[in-house]
Amino acid sequence: MSLLSLTVLGCLVLTACCSWLLPRKAQPWGIVACTAAFLAYFSWTSLLILTVTSLAVFFLLKRNKVHGAALLCAVGVISAIFVWFKLKGAAAGSLAVVIPLGLSYYSFRQIHYLFESYKGKLEEHTLSDYLCWLYFLPTLHVGPIHRFPEFLRDLRRRRWDTAALSNGLERILYGYAKIVIVSNFLIAKQFNLLVVQYSNSSHLWFAEYLKALSRWMNLYFQFSGYSDIAIGFSLIMGFRIMENFNFPFLARNIAEFWQRWHISLSSWCRDYVFTPMASVTRRPGISVLAAMLILGLWHEFSGRFVLWGLYNGVAIVLWHQFQNVKKVMPAWQNRWWLLFARSAAVVATFNFAVTSFPVTSYLYSRIRAVL
Amino acid sequence: MYPFLCRFIPKSIANAVMLAWYLLLCVLIFILSAEPDTGFLYLGL
């Protein structure tokens, strides 16, 4: 299944039409029905899991308000389903075939809902509000992992807005341009010609670097393109969905990079892994490592992603330690030096991010060879 | 981009520029959509 196919686009347009043309009270159900039909067509397993878990979570919380055992049980079941499919996918090798469509996103949304409900931070809402949020087609299969309170606010306040329609259409166009023109054509085709050219020369290390660069840039333009399409369609439907990328390659350090890259996932890990762990253990370093480990495992249940998560986690911890050292160092007064240092920091962070995956893959292969 | 253009050139010309820009993007997307989609679904999310 290609997310660029006309079938997917048609489903998104149909959902947007349903979200406005149906009677007001039926609109959330219209969105749910369109998404259910989409999932029934593309992934029956996903529809089944989403329906069963979402209804179970909703009715469990209705019966047992702010009940710790119920919360833990629900989080455990959702995590177990997520882990089981991830492990199955990792064992099969070809992940996209095995993992139900959008499972990684809606599992984390459900866990967010459970925690917020436990904290008592959710406003009164109906089943249709909740299902509309979970069965929201634009963000179902590519994120962002948007939050329920903001969605509920928009669902209640939304009005037809031609400016939002215009902005939404523009975002969708830019999203498609990023994927088709920049990623599929410029990077995957043209830039890879350059990579092939260097692969045949004596500069093998440079070819490896270019490969890593191509892969990372491709991932960025694809992912941010899909996020743009999701945000664009959401705008058309009257919802302001959180941004997922904020020029990550301009980050001046690795901590800032993770505040700019896949924001919805990194903020999820901050809120539901880092903060609770830091408040219990009082050790921010360990909490950062745990959060980055979960972030790595979210992508794939494998040793190399564990290593990749920890590699980034260690870098963040070291950067925070460096901040403590920096406080006692004399500050640079010369603005040209400052500009140079900042530019060097951007370049270093960019290269760290680009090379993080090949470096950890290499380390992982070495570790496996030794073991 | 549109508010930026409106600061330097008359609004009618900015409108035409934006229209041409969108049209160009649409044409490029239409032509280049024949290229294989590299996708990021290999991550299996």
pLDDT above 80 for A63:
no
| Segment A44-59 mean pLDDT | 93
Q: Are residue A171 and residue A146 in the same domain, yes or no? A: no
- The structural domain count of chain A equals 3
Which of A96-105, A281-290, A317-326 shows the lowest mean pLDDT across its residues?
A96-105
Using CA coordinates, name the residue in chain B closest to A87: B44
Candidates A164, A171, A142, A128; CA nearest to A237 is A164
Closest in A89, A188, A300 to B38, CB measured: A188
Q: Are residue A196 and residue A125 in the same domain, yes or no? A: no
Q: Are residue A308 and residue A351 in the same domain, yes or no? A: yes
Q: How confident is the model at residue A351 (pLDDT cuts 50, 70, 90)?
A: very high
Instruction: Please state, as a whole number, how many other Cβ atoms lie within 10 Å of the Cβ of residue B8.
Output: 8
- B45 touches A: beta carbon within 8 Å: yes
Of the residues A188, A212, A236, which one is the last residue of a structural domain?
Answer: A236
Query: Is residue B42 within a helix (H) or strand (E), and if so which, with residue range?
Result: none
Q: Are residue A78 and residue A127 in the same domain, yes or no? A: yes
Handedness of CA A358, A296, A368, B42 (dihedral sign): negative
- A299 touches B: beta carbon within 8 Å: yes
Q: How confident is the model at residue A132 (pLDDT cuts 50, 70, 90)?
A: very high
How much of chain A exceeds pLDDT 70, in percent? 98
- Dump pLDDT digits (tens) for A78-103: 999 999 998 887 777 655 557 888 99
pLDDT above 60 for A345:
yes
The Cα A224–Cα A175 span in angstroms is 7
pLDDT above 60 for B45:
no
pLDDT above 90 for B5:
no
Q: Are residue A139 and residue A199 in the same domain, yes or no? A: no
End-to-end CA distance of chain A: 38
User: pTM for the complete prediction?
Assistant: 0.92
Rounded to 5 degrees, φ, ψ at A125 are: -150, 165
Of the residues A236, A258, A286, which one is the last residue of a structural domain?
Answer: A236
Q: Which residues 30-59 of A are in CB contact (within 8 Å) with B?
A: none
pLDDT above 80 for A284:
yes
Residue A30 domain boundaries: 6-157
Residue A51 in domain: yes
Q: Are residue A28 and residue A145 in the same domain, yes or no? A: yes
Q: Are residue A306 and residue A361 in the same domain, yes or no? A: yes
Test mutation, B22, B30, B38, chain A, max A CBs within 10 A: B38
Q: CB distance B35–A104 less than 8 Å?
A: no
Please report the DSSP string for A286-312 in residue order.
HHHHHHHHHHHHHH-SSHHHHHHHHHH
Test mutation, A7, A169, A176, A297, chain B, max B CBs within 10 A: A176
Residues of A in contact with B23 (CB under 8 A): none
pLDDT above 90 for A294:
yes
pLDDT of residue A204: 79
pLDDT of residue A92: 73
Residue A244 in domain: no
Q: CB distance B36–A184 less than 8 Å?
A: yes
Q: How confident is the model at residue A128 (pLDDT cuts 50, 70, 90)?
A: very high
Residue A243 in domain: no
Residue A1 in domain: no
What is the maximum alpha-carbon separation in chain B?
48
Q: Are residue A268 and residue A358 in the same domain, yes or no? A: yes
Residues of B in contact with A7 (CB under 8 A): none
Closest in A4, A95, A103 to B43, CB measured: A95
For chain A, give the mean pLDDT: 90
The Cα A331–Cα A111 span in angstroms is 44
Q: Are residue A61 and residue A150 in the same domain, yes or no? A: yes
Q: How confident is the model at residue A1 (pLDDT cuts 50, 70, 90)?
A: low
Q: CB distance A99–B44 less than 8 Å?
A: yes
Q: CB distance B44–A223 less than 8 Å?
A: no
pLDDT of residue A96: 52
Residue A187 in domain: yes
Q: Are A300 and A95 in contact (CB under 8 A)?
A: yes
- A297 touches B: beta carbon within 8 Å: no
Q: Are residue A172 and residue A267 in the same domain, yes or no? A: no
The Cα A215–Cα A232 span in angstroms is 25
pLDDT above 60 for A358:
yes
Residue A54 in domain: yes
Q: Are residue A220 and residue A302 in the same domain, yes or no? A: no
- Dump pLDDT digits (tens) for A104-113: 999 999 999 9
CA distance A188 to chain B (A): 7
Question: What per-residue string of b and e applies to A141-179 under the rule 16 or more CB within 10 Å gives b?
Answer: bbbbbbbbeebbebbeebeeeeebbebbebbbbbbbbbb
| Segment A62-72 mean pLDDT | 75
ipTM of the complex: 0.88
Residue A202 in domain: yes
Of the residues A181, A212, A236, which one is the last residue of a structural domain?
Answer: A236
Tell me, rounded to whole angstroms, the distance of Cα A127 from its chain centroid.
25
Candidates A33, A37, A13; CA nearest to A237 is A13
Residue A91 in domain: yes
Q: Are residue A282 and residue A324 in the same domain, yes or no? A: yes
